[in-house]
Amino acid sequence: MLDADFFRRWMTATTASVDREAERLTALDSPIGDADHGSNLQRGFTAVAATLEKEAPDTPGAVLTLAGRRLISTVGGASGPLYGTLLRRTGKALGDAGEVSEEELAEALRAGVEAVMTLGGAAPGDKTMIDTLVPAVDALGTGFAAARTAAEQGALSTTPLQARKGRASYLGERSIGHQDPGATSAALLIAALAEASGE
């Protein structure tokens, strides 16, 4: 079973990973976005880690809901609302339980991903974070390591696609050949989940 500590470890691991990869995320965002994806997420997750340290919520749902709220209030652009919605909706789906199963997490994360799809209007194949998150959630039933592999493959799969949503879509065919920064950061989030589980 997964308790609040596990979810705090997930957010701490994500913060460390975003910190390490911020320059690469910004470099990916440079040709097809605003060249600020890495720095925006770095600021957001640093705020999340600081808030969780201070407030220490005691249920899995409360950890994710608080993290989502912090991201929405500190991250500019589209990534704050999208990641914030993902975590808040997942947290809400987990409810007030003190511990949750891997199956319950997979189900809640699917609800979070669906909320992001509704908010951003994106579907698989649109060259967004959805191309990472949908296969990751599908694979989560097999385990955290499987979800990480699916997420990494999902992020790589965005390179040959033409963007149909978000800022990159304004470039039309010029978006082809670039790995999507949002899909890449979503893979970091899933890899951090596997790390928190020890897989």
The pLDDT of residue 140 is above 90: yes
Q: pLDDT band at residue 7, thresholds of 50, 70 and 90? A: very high
pTM: 0.96
The pLDDT of residue 118 is above 90: yes
| Average pLDDT across the chain, whole number | 95
129 touches 116 (CB < 8 A): yes
Q: pLDDT band at residue 180, thresholds of 50, 70 and 90? A: very high
Question: Looking at residue 34, what is its pLDDT?
Answer: 85
Interval 66-110: pLDDT, tens: 999 999 999 978 899 999 999 999 999 999 999 999 999 999 999
Residue found by looking up tokens 């950061």 in the block? 185
Average pLDDT over every residue of 128-148: 97
The pLDDT of residue 35 is above 90: no
Question: Looking at residue 78, what is its pLDDT?
Answer: 87
